[in-house]
């Protein structure tokens, strides 16, 4: 995940040796040791940068940069296994973030779907009380989050079920949630559009094999017992067969725009889309590209 802001370089504050973590190397092999930042968001009042690191939990680095420090790594006694995305309600500074699974790490993200894992959570961190509150649990691969413009609700991508959920923070509906939109593929990150509504990055369209596995969880668990790296196998297949898809939803969950590269020659496995100055900036967490699209 990246933002259209001045680049801020930081180093993670780790309790283990950083040998092998810097410079050119195969990061996928060391990310569980070195960390893997997925979500970034500035507190616009303090200038602090909050980081959702897949392995290190929720971190913070001050406006001058330097070492990122640990904010929280567990909730209700359960350690975060796959800290993923975040957004900040700027007025009080509350940080809303997801932990995609307490059982599987990011490097095994396909296992979260195949196993039918439901250990994901949506949480809120209060920087004043320094307390973390679990808002939703038993989620299936909770991923990207985005607050509404006035902070009435927060949207949450539930990747396994190919849908966006809406959790109400204000109004008489506060504390309740429902399906906001059902999607044609697996959603990753969500971002507000300056023209209204929300952009959703779709990692891939629904595949018949995944539909079958979701219907029969025992089949998915059987695949996980095979002597091969399922995530690597999926990444290899996606490299040659994937496509690129992004969707803009209205405030009511209606699809307003759908842009797709059906060939996958230009973009594929999209995980992020940010709109600024009539331009879409597009990125992927698995593919080495950054895209720019004039709208």
The CA distance from 189 to 200, in Å, is 6
Looking at residue 212, the DSSP 8-state letter turns out to be H
Maximum distance among all Cα pairs of the chain, rounded to whole angstroms: 52
Pair 156, 98: CB distance under 8 Å: yes
Predicted local distance difference test score (pLDDT) of residue 4: 36
Note whether residue 3 is domain-resident. Answer: no
More confidently predicted of 246 and 216 = 246
Tokens for 236? Answer: 């290899």
The answer to whether 177 and 136 have CB atoms below 8 angstroms apart is: yes
Q: Give me the phi and psi of 210, to 5 degrees please.
A: -75, -35
Residue 150 backbone phi and psi in degrees, to 5: -95, 5
Q: Where in the sequence is the domain holding 47, given as residue range(s)?
A: 10-294
Q: Is 148 exposed, middle or buried (0-12, 13-18, 19+ CB in 10 A)?
A: middle
Residues 179-219 have pLDDT tens digits of: 999 999 999 999 999 999 999 999 999 877 777 777 777 88
Give pLDDT, residue 18.
64
User: How many distinct structural domains can be found in the chain?
Assistant: 1
The answer to whether residue 5 sits within a structural domain is: no
What 8-state DSSP symbol labels residue 227? S
Listed residue (278, 260, 283) closest to 3, CA to CA: 283
φ, ψ of residue 45 to 5 degrees: the values are -85, -50
Q: What CA–CA distance (Å, rounded) separates 79 from 73?
A: 6
Section 279-284 average pLDDT: 96
Instruction: Give the residue-averaged pLDDT of 167-180.
Output: 97
In a domain, 197, yes or no: yes
Residue 169 located in a structural domain: yes
Task: Give the C-alpha separation, 31 to 54, whole Å.
Answer: 9
Residue 2 lies in a domain: no
Q: Are strands 49-53 and 57-61 parallel, antiparallel or unpaired?
A: antiparallel
CATH code where residue 115 lies: 2.120.10.30
Model confidence, pTM: 0.91
- Asked if residues 11 and 53 have their Cβ atoms less than 8 Å apart, the reply is no
Residue 15 pLDDT greater than 50, yes or no: no
Residue with tokens 């991923």: 143
Give me the DSSP letters along 214-256. Answer: HH-HHHHHHHHTSSS-HHHHHHHHHHHH--EEEEEE-TTS-EE
Mean pLDDT of the region 140-165: 97
How many CB atoms are closer than 10 A to CB 156?
Answer: 27
Q: What pLDDT does residue 251 have?
A: 95
Residue 30 in domain = yes
Instruction: Give the C-alpha separation, 136 to 96, whole Å.
Output: 11
Residue 187 lies inside a defined structural domain of this protein:
yes
Q: 145 pLDDT exceeds 70?
A: yes
pLDDT > 70? residue 118? yes
């Amino acid at each position: 995940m990246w933002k259209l802001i001045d680049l801020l370089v930081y180093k993670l504050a780790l309790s283990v040796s950083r040998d092998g973590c810097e410079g050119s190397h195969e990061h996928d092999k060391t990310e569980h040791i070195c960390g893997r930042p997925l979500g970034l968001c500035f507190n616009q009042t303090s200038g602090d940068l909050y980081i959702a690191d897949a392995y290190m939990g929720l971190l913070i680095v001050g406006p001058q940069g330097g070492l990122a420090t640990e904010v929280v790594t567990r909730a209700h006694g359960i350690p975060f296994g796959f800290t993923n995305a975040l957004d900040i309600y700027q007025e009080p500074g509350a940080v809303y973030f997801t932990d995609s699974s307490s059982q599987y790490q990011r490097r095994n993200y396909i296992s979260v779907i195949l196993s039918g894992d439901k250990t994901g959570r949506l949480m809120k961190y209060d920087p004043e009380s320094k307390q973390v509150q679990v808002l939703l649990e038993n989620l299936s691969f909770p991923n990207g989050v985005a607050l509404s413009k006035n902070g009435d609700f927060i949207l949450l991508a539930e990747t396994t079920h190919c849908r966006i959920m809406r959790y109400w923070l204000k109004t008489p509906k506060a504390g309740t949630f429902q399906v906001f939109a059902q999607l044609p593929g697996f959603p990753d990150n969500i971002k507000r559009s300056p023209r209204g509504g929300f952009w959703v990055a779709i990692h891939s369209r629904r595949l018949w094999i995944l539909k079958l596995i979701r219907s029969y969880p025992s089949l998915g668990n059987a695949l996980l017992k095979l002597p091969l790296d399922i995530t690597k196998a999926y990444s290899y297949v996606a490299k040659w067969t994937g496509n690129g898809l992004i969707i803009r939803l209205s405030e009511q969950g209606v699809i307003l725009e759908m842009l797709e590269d059906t060939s996958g020659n230009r973009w594929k496995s999209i995980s992020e889309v940010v709109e600024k100055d009539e331009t879409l900036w597009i990125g992927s967490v698995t593919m080495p590209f950054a895209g720019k699209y004039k709208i």
